[in-house]
A and B are shown apart, each in its own frame.
Chain A
Amino acid sequence: MICMNRLILSIIPTLLLAACAAHAPKTAQWDPLTVLTDIEQKANASIEKQAPIQEGTVVLKGATVMTANGKIHNPGYVVFTDGRIVAVAQGNPEPIEGALVHDLKGAFITPGIVDTHSHLGVYPSPYAKAHSDGNEMTAPTTPGVWAEHSFWPQDPGIEKAVMGGVTTIHVLPGSANLVVGRGVTLHMVPHRGSRAMRFPGAPTGVKMACGENPKRVYGGKGRSPATRMANVRGYRSAFIKAHKHLEVMKKKGPDTPRDVEMETLVGILLGKFLPQVHCYRADDMLAFLQVADEFGFKVRSFHHGLEAYKIRDILAEKDVSVSTWADWWGFKLEAYDGIPENAALISKAGGKPVIHSDSSRGIQRLNQEAGKAYHSGLRANIELTENEALRWITYNAAWTLGIENEVGTLEPGKRADIVIWDKHPFSVYAKAQKVFVD
Chain B
Amino acid sequence: MRFSFLSLIALCLIHVGTAHAQAPCTLITGAKVVLPGGASKVTNVTVAGEKILSVGQATSEKCERINGTGQVLAPGFIETQSSLGLVEVSLEHTSVDTSMTGKDSSPVPIRATFKVFEGFNPSSSLIAIARRHGITSSILLPSGGTISGQAAWVDLQGKTQAEAIRSEAIAMIAHIGQSGASRATSLHRLHTLFEEAQAFDSAAKDWKKNKSRPFIHVRELKAVLPVLQGQIPLVVSAHRASDIERAVALGGKFGIRVIISGGAEAWKLKELLAQKNIPVIVDPESNGPGSFDQIHGRADNAAVLEKAGVPLIISSFSTHNARKLAQMAGTSVREGLGYEAALKAITETPAKVFGLKGIGTIEAGATANIVLWSGDPLELSSAPTKLWIHGKLQSLTSRQSKLRDRYMTLPVKR
A residues adjacent to B (C-beta < 8 A): 125-128, 156-157, 160, 212, 216, 309-310, 312-314, 327-333, 336-341, 345, 360-361, 364-365, 368, 371-372, 375, 378-380, 426-431
Inter-chain contact B327/A368, CB cutoff 8 Å: yes
Inter-chain contact A336/B89, CB cutoff 8 Å: yes
Q: Which residue of B lies closest to A370 (CB)?
A: B380
Inter-chain contact A313/B410, CB cutoff 8 Å: yes
B residues adjacent to A (C-beta < 8 A): 88-92, 126, 285, 287-292, 294-295, 320-321, 323-324, 327, 330-331, 333-334, 378-381, 383, 400-401, 403-404, 407-408, 410, 413
Most buried by B among A212, A309, A372, A429: A429
Which residues of chain B are near A127, meaning CB under 8 Å?
Answer: 290-292
Bound state CA distance, A16 and B408, in angstroms?
59
Inter-chain contact A427/B413, CB cutoff 8 Å: no
Which residues of chain A are near B290, meaning CB under 8 Å?
Answer: 125-127, 360-361
Given contacts A126-B295, A327-B321, A365-B331, are A428 and B383 in contact (CB under 8 A)? no
Closest 7 CB pairs of A and B: A428-B330, A330-B320, A332-B91, A371-B380, A126-B289, A331-B90, A339-B400
Which residues of chain B are near A309, meaning CB under 8 Å?
Answer: 404, 407
Inter-chain contact A125/B327, CB cutoff 8 Å: no
Which residues of chain A are near B288, meaning CB under 8 Å?
Answer: 125, 156-157, 160, 360
Pick from A157, A333, A430: contact of B334, CB under 8 Å: A430
Could you pull out 7 A-B pairs where Cβ atoms are within 8 angstroms? Answer: A309-B404, A313-B413, A330-B90, A361-B290, A371-B381, A428-B378, A429-B379
**What is the predominant secondary structure among interface residues of chain B facing chain A?**
loop
Pick from B287, B289, B320, B334: contact of A431, CB under 8 Å: B334
Inter-chain contact B89/A332, CB cutoff 8 Å: yes
Bound state CA distance, A333 and B94, in angstroms?
12
Inter-chain contact A361/B403, CB cutoff 8 Å: no
Bound state CA distance, A361 and B92, in angstroms?
25
Bound state CA distance, A128 and B292, in angstroms?
8
Bound state CA distance, A221 and B278, in angstroms?
47
Bound state CA distance, A5 and B164, in angstroms?
72
Given contacts A127-B290, A426-B381, are A333 and B89 in contact (CB under 8 A)? yes
Inter-chain contact B91/A212, CB cutoff 8 Å: yes
Bound state CA distance, A360 and B294, in angstroms?
14
Inter-chain contact B413/A314, CB cutoff 8 Å: yes
Which residues of chain B are near A371, meaning CB under 8 Å?
Answer: 380-381
Q: Which residue of B lies closest to A342 (CB)?
A: B404
Inter-chain contact B292/A126, CB cutoff 8 Å: yes
Inter-chain contact A427/B327, CB cutoff 8 Å: no
Inter-chain contact A375/B381, CB cutoff 8 Å: yes
Inter-chain contact A339/B404, CB cutoff 8 Å: yes
Inter-chain contact B289/A310, CB cutoff 8 Å: no
User: Nearest Cβ distance between residue A379 and chain B, in whole angstroms?
Assistant: 6
Given contacts A309-B407, A428-B327, are A332 and B90 in contact (CB under 8 A)? yes
Which residues of chain B are near A430, meaning CB under 8 Å?
Answer: 334
Bound state CA distance, A429 and B92, in angstroms?
36
Given contacts A375-B380, A429-B330, are A331 and B404 in contact (CB under 8 A)? no
Bound state CA distance, A360 and B327, in angstroms?
17
Inter-chain contact B331/A380, CB cutoff 8 Å: no
Inter-chain contact B323/A327, CB cutoff 8 Å: yes
Bound state CA distance, A406 and B257, in angstroms?
58
Q: Which residue of A lies closest to B381 (CB)?
A: A375
Bound state CA distance, A378 and B383, in angstroms?
11
User: Nearest Cβ distance between residue B92 and chain A, in whole angstroms?
Assistant: 6
Pick from B334, B379, B400: contact of A340, CB under 8 Å: B400
Which residues of chain B are near A332, meaning CB under 8 Å?
Answer: 89-92
Q: Which residue of B lies closest to A377 (CB)?
A: B404
Given contacts A212-B91, A330-B89, A333-B89, are A345 and B287 in contact (CB under 8 A)? no
User: Nearest Cβ distance between residue A59 and chain B, in whole angstroms?
Assistant: 28
Which residues of chain A are near B413, meaning CB under 8 Å?
Answer: 313-314
Bound state CA distance, A212 and B334, in angstroms?
38
Given contacts A313-B413, A340-B400, are A156 and B333 in contact (CB under 8 A)? no
Which residues of chain B are near A331, meaning CB under 8 Å?
Answer: 89-91, 320
Bound state CA distance, A327 and B401, in angstroms?
13
User: Nearest Cβ distance between residue B35 and chain A, in whole angstroms?
Assistant: 22
Inter-chain contact A427/B380, CB cutoff 8 Å: yes
Pick from B92, B403, B410: contact of A333, CB under 8 Å: B92
Bound state CA distance, A333 and B320, in angstroms?
12
Most buried by A among B91, B333, B407: B407
Q: Which residue of A lies closest to B292 (CB)?
A: A126
Which residues of chain A are near B321, meaning CB under 8 Å?
Answer: 327-329
User: Nearest Cβ distance between residue A165 and chain B, in whole angstroms?
Assistant: 13
Given contacts A330-B126, A428-B334, are A126 and B379 in contact (CB under 8 A)? no
User: Nearest Cβ distance between residue B405 and chain A, in whole angstroms?
Assistant: 8
User: Nearest Cβ distance between residue A82 and chain B, in whole angstroms?
Assistant: 33
Which residues of chain A are near B331, meaning CB under 8 Å?
Answer: 365, 368, 428
User: Nearest Cβ distance between residue A10 and chain B, in whole angstroms?
Assistant: 49
Pick from A157, A337, A428, A429: contact of B403, CB under 8 Å: A337
Which residues of chain A are near B90, meaning CB under 8 Å?
Answer: 330-332
User: Nearest Cβ distance between residue B371 and chain A, in whole angstroms?
Assistant: 15
Which residues of chain A are near B407, meaning CB under 8 Å?
Answer: 309-310, 345
Which residues of chain B are near A368, meaning CB under 8 Å?
Answer: 327, 331, 380
User: Nearest Cβ distance between residue A339 and chain B, in whole angstroms?
Assistant: 5
Bound state CA distance, A32 and B91, in angstroms?
44
Which residues of chain B are near A329, meaning CB under 8 Å?
Answer: 320-321, 400
Which residues of chain B are near A380, meaning CB under 8 Å?
Answer: 404, 408
Bound state CA distance, A341 and B408, in angstroms?
10
User: Nearest Cβ distance between residue B337 and chain A, in whole angstroms?
Assistant: 11
Pick from A160, A333, A426, A427: contact of B91, CB under 8 Å: A333
Inter-chain contact B294/A428, CB cutoff 8 Å: no
Bound state CA distance, A157 and B288, in angstroms?
8
Bound state CA distance, A345 and B410, in angstroms?
11
**6 new A-B pairs (CB below 8 Å) besides A125-B290, A309-B404, A331-B89?**
A127-B291, A314-B413, A328-B321, A331-B91, A361-B285, A429-B379
User: Nearest Cβ distance between residue B16 and chain A, in whole angstroms?
Assistant: 41
User: Nearest Cβ distance between residue A406 and chain B, in whole angstroms?
Assistant: 29
Q: Which residue of B lies closest to A382 (CB)?
A: B408
Which residues of chain B are near A378, meaning CB under 8 Å?
Answer: 381
Bound state CA distance, A409 and B208, in angstroms?
76
Bound state CA distance, A365 and B324, in angstroms?
13
Which residues of chain B are near A372, meaning CB under 8 Å?
Answer: 327, 380
Which residues of chain B are near A340, meaning CB under 8 Å?
Answer: 400
Which residues of chain A are near B404, meaning CB under 8 Å?
Answer: 309, 339, 341, 345, 380
Inter-chain contact A339/B89, CB cutoff 8 Å: no
Bound state CA distance, A378 and B380, in angstroms?
12
Which residues of chain B are near A427, meaning CB under 8 Å?
Answer: 379-381
User: Nearest Cβ distance between residue B82 and chain A, in whole angstroms?
Assistant: 12
Q: Which residue of B lies closest to A364 (CB)?
A: B287
Inter-chain contact B323/A126, CB cutoff 8 Å: no
Which residues of chain B are near A216, meaning CB under 8 Å?
Answer: 91
Bound state CA distance, A40 and B410, in angstroms?
43
Most buried by B among A127, A157, A160: A127
Inter-chain contact B89/A428, CB cutoff 8 Å: no
Which residues of chain A are near B381, meaning CB under 8 Å?
Answer: 371, 375, 378, 426-427
